[in-house]
Structure 1
Amino acid sequence: MSNILTQSQIDELLNSVKEGAMNEEQLDDEVSSKKIRKYDFHTPKKYTKDRLKLIFSIYENYARVISSYLTSLLRLNFNVELMDVEEQRYYEFNNALNDDDLIALVDTKLSDSEENEQIMVQISNHTMYTMIDRMLGGVGDYEEESATHGFTDIELSIYEVLLKHILPIMKDAWQNYLDLNLEFAKIESNPRLVQTIGSDEIVVIVILSIELNETTGQINICLPGRLLDNVFTFFEKMREVNNKRKTFQDEASPEEILSSIKDSTLEITAKLGEAQVLMKDIYQLKAGDVINLKKPQDSDIYLYIEKKPWFRGKMGTHRGSMAVKINGSVNNQ
Structure 2
Amino acid sequence: MAGDVLSQAEVENLLTSLESEPDLQDPQAGGSMASRPREKVTVYDFKRPERVGKEQMRALQTMHEGFGRNFGAALSAMLRNIVEVKLTSVDQLTYSEFVFSLENPTCFNIINAPPLEGQLILDLNPSILFPIIDRLLGGNTMSTAPVRRPLTEIELRLVSRITGLFLREMQQTWENVLKFDLEVDRVESNPQLVQIIPANEVVVLISFELTVGETRGMINLCIPYNSIERVSHKLSSNNWVSYRKKPPTAESIQMLSDRLSDAAVEVVVNLAETNISTADLINLKVGDVIATEQDVSKPLVVSVEGKSKFHAKPGQYKGRKAIEITDLHEEHHLHFAPHEALSTAKSQAESA
TM-score exceeds 0.5:
yes
Whole-angstrom CA distance in 1 between matches of 2:74 and 2:142: 19
Does the residue aligned with 2:181 lie in a helix, a strand or coil? strand
Whole-angstrom CA distance in 2 between matches of 1:149 and 1:45: 36
Structure 1 residues 181 and 148, CA gap change in structure 2 (3 angstroms): closer
Whole-angstrom CA distance in 1 between matches of 2:84 and 2:208: 10
Whole-angstrom CA distance in 1 between matches of 2:190 and 2:49: 30
Whole-angstrom CA distance in 2 between matches of 1:90 and 1:84: 16
Alignment-derived partner of residue 90 in structure 2? 85
Find out whether 1:228 has 2:233 as its counterpart. no
Does the 8 Å CA contact 1:107/1:184 hold for their aligned counterparts? yes
> Where in structure 2 are the equivalents of 1:208-227 lying within 5 Å?
208-227=208-227
Identity within the alignment, %? 27
Give the deviation of 1:180 after TM superposition: 2.4
| Coordinate RMSD, CA, aligned | 2.3
Give the deviation of 1:60 after TM superposition: 1.0
Alignment-derived partner of residue 258 in structure 2? none
Whole-angstrom CA distance in 2 between matches of 1:239 and 1:70: 30
Give the deviation of 1:148 after TM superposition: 4.1
Give the deviation of 1:99 after TM superposition: 2.0
Whole-angstrom CA distance in 2 between matches of 1:160 and 1:48: 34
Alignment-derived partner of residue 254 in structure 1? none
Give the deviation of 1:219 after TM superposition: 0.7
Whole-angstrom CA distance in 2 between matches of 1:80 and 1:159: 17
**Cα offsets for 1:177-227 (capped at 9, x unmatched):** 221221221211111121111100000000111100110111111001111
**Cα offsets for 1:135-180 (capped at 9, x unmatched):** 00112422426x1454222111111222112211100000132212
Aligned residues: 198
Give the deviation of 1:94 after TM superposition: 0.6
Alignment-derived partner of residue 152 in structure 1? 152
Does the 8 Å CA contact 1:126/1:142 hold for their aligned counterparts? no
Structure 1 residues 144 and 118, CA gap change in structure 2 (3 angstroms): same
Give the deviation of 1:86 after TM superposition: 0.4
For 1:204, give the aligned amino acid. V
Does the residue aligned with 2:56 lie in a helix, a strand or coil? helix
Does the 8 Å CA contact 1:66/1:169 hold for their aligned counterparts? yes
**Cα offsets for 1:237-263 (capped at 9, x unmatched):** x889xxxxxxxxxxxxxxxxxxxxxxx
Give the deviation of 1:64 after TM superposition: 0.7
Alignment-derived partner of residue 123 in structure 2? 122
Find out whether 1:71 has 2:72 as its counterpart. no
For 2:75, give the aligned amino acid. L
Q: Which runs of 5+ in 2 are unaligned?
A: 1-41, 240-352
Alignment-derived partner of residue 192 in structure 2? 192
Whole-angstrom CA distance in 2 between matches of 1:75 and 1:209: 19
Does the residue aligned with 1:81 lie in a helix, a strand or coil? strand
Does the 8 Å CA contact 2:202/2:224 hold for their aligned counterparts? yes
Structure 1 residues 233 and 209, CA gap change in structure 2 (3 angstroms): same
Q: TM-score, normalised by structure 2?
A: 0.53
Candidates 55, 67, 77, aligned match of 2:60: 55
Alignment-derived partner of residue 284 in structure 2? none
Whole-angstrom CA distance in 2 between matches of 1:57 and 1:231: 17
Alignment-derived partner of residue 167 in structure 1? 167
Q: Displaced runs of 4+ in structure 1, greater than 4 A? A: 233-236
- Structure with a larger share of its residues in helix: 1
> Where in structure 2 are the equivalents of 1:130-149 lying within 5 Å?
130-144=131-145, 147-149=147-149
Candidates 106, 113, 129, aligned match of 1:108: 113
Does the 8 Å CA contact 1:160/1:187 hold for their aligned counterparts? no
Structure 1 residues 235 and 102, CA gap change in structure 2 (3 angstroms): closer
**Cα offsets for 1:35-83 (capped at 9, x unmatched):** xx96425643111110111111221111010110111110111110111
Structure 1 residues 135 and 51, CA gap change in structure 2 (3 angstroms): same
Does the residue aligned with 1:137 lie in a helix, a strand or coil? coil
> Where in structure 2 are the equivalents of 1:286-305 lying within 5 Å?
none
For 2:69, give the aligned amino acid. R
Q: TM-score, normalised by structure 1?
A: 0.55
Structure 1 residues 211 and 42, CA gap change in structure 2 (3 angstroms): closer
Alignment-derived partner of residue 305 in structure 1? none
Does the residue aligned with 1:184 lie in a helix, a strand or coil? strand
Does the residue aligned with 1:161 lie in a helix, a strand or coil? helix
Alignment-derived partner of residue 176 in structure 2? 176
